[in-house]
Amino acid sequence: MIAAPEPVRTMTLDECKKGLGTTKKFYFTSRFAACSGASFVQTWLVNGRPSGTSMFNVRVVGTIAKNSRTINFKYYFTEMESQGTTEAPVMKIGTKGKIPNSWPSTVRYTRGGSMPGTKTFAELKVLRSFSETVNAKPGQGSQGTTDLIAAIYQPSITITPPPNAKLTGDLKGDLFFLPPRWDAAKYLANSTGGGNPDKRGAASFAYIGMLNYSTKAGAKERAVAQHIKTAFTKPQDTMTFPS
């Protein structure tokens, strides 16, 4: 028997930065390690004219330990800068991890961590990072043996200008994140929870990979494509490998 390598379950800020680059909305190395990011840029106005700018980047790294139902989301505020005449240090920034949709809708999630709520630009520049954990206990999922739970997790940023200040630009935004899911199917290694029913199953991030096959001469995996085509068009001509 050939053992498959363990999937990646950790991700550093530098790995996230490199993976996202300057154009990608999300990056992942496995179903247990993913990240997303966004830039927020503001223009400050005095008498209706630009007087300065401020900006910051937000990156969120999500990781899941082996056989765990707890997802850890780590938020990073970096590249926090301002130029010209601004009141950026006292500008308030609110951070939330929203779950706008859940299937089933009756699922109750357990949250933990150190989410700061609303902090000033200056405070976040010092704090730099913080975490939130999200857990969905088994027994709340869809009917059947999988006990499947699916959700949308949405890091959300809102900016409140100081009193009497005028600014334009990115004053709010939601970061995309790969949808989390939980299940307790019998084929999972942790299907029994090691004797603890509340820990049955595990969490993961949902992603559907697309495989492109072609029956054209010279195409990679042509034999696979031909077999799939035959299975759909002439199923009677296909057979399983003899055991």
Question: Residue range 99-121: average pLDDT?
Answer: 97
List, in sequence order, every beta strand (DSSP E) within 124-223: 129-136, 149-160, 166-169, 172-174, 180-183, 202-205
Which residue in 129, 136, 92, 99 sits closest to 114, CA to CA? 129
Q: Which residue has the higher pLDDT, 238 or 9?
A: 9
pLDDT of residue 228: 83
Q: Which of 6-10, 117-121, 214-218 has the lowest mean pLDDT?
A: 214-218
Residue 243 pLDDT:
41
Contact 179, 152 (CB under 8 A): yes
Taking residues 194-210, report their average pLDDT.
88
For the chain, helix, strand, coil in percent to 5 are: 15, 45, 40
The answer on pLDDT for 186 being more than 50 is: yes
Mean pLDDT over the full length of the chain = 93
Q: Which residues are CB-contacts of 1 (< 8 A; sequence separation ≥ 6)?
A: none
> For residue 30, what are the contacts with CB-CB under 8 A and spacing of at least 6?
7, 8, 9
Share of the chain above pLDDT 70, in %: 95
pLDDT confidence of residue 130 = 98
- Provide the 10 A C-beta neighbour count for residue 238: 11
pLDDT of residue 209: 66
**pTM (2 decimals)?**
0.85
Residue type, 242: P
Tokens of 106: 């009756």
Assign 242 a pLDDT band (cuts: 50, 70, 90).
very low
CA pair distance 123, 181, nearest whole angstrom: 33
Residue-level pLDDT at 239: 64
Q: Is the pLDDT score of 241 beyond 80?
A: no
Report the pLDDT value the prediction gives residue 2, as an integer from 0 to 100. Answer: 62
- The residue ranking higher by pLDDT, 218 or 79, is 79
Of 8-22, 40-54, 219-233, least confident by mean pLDDT is 219-233
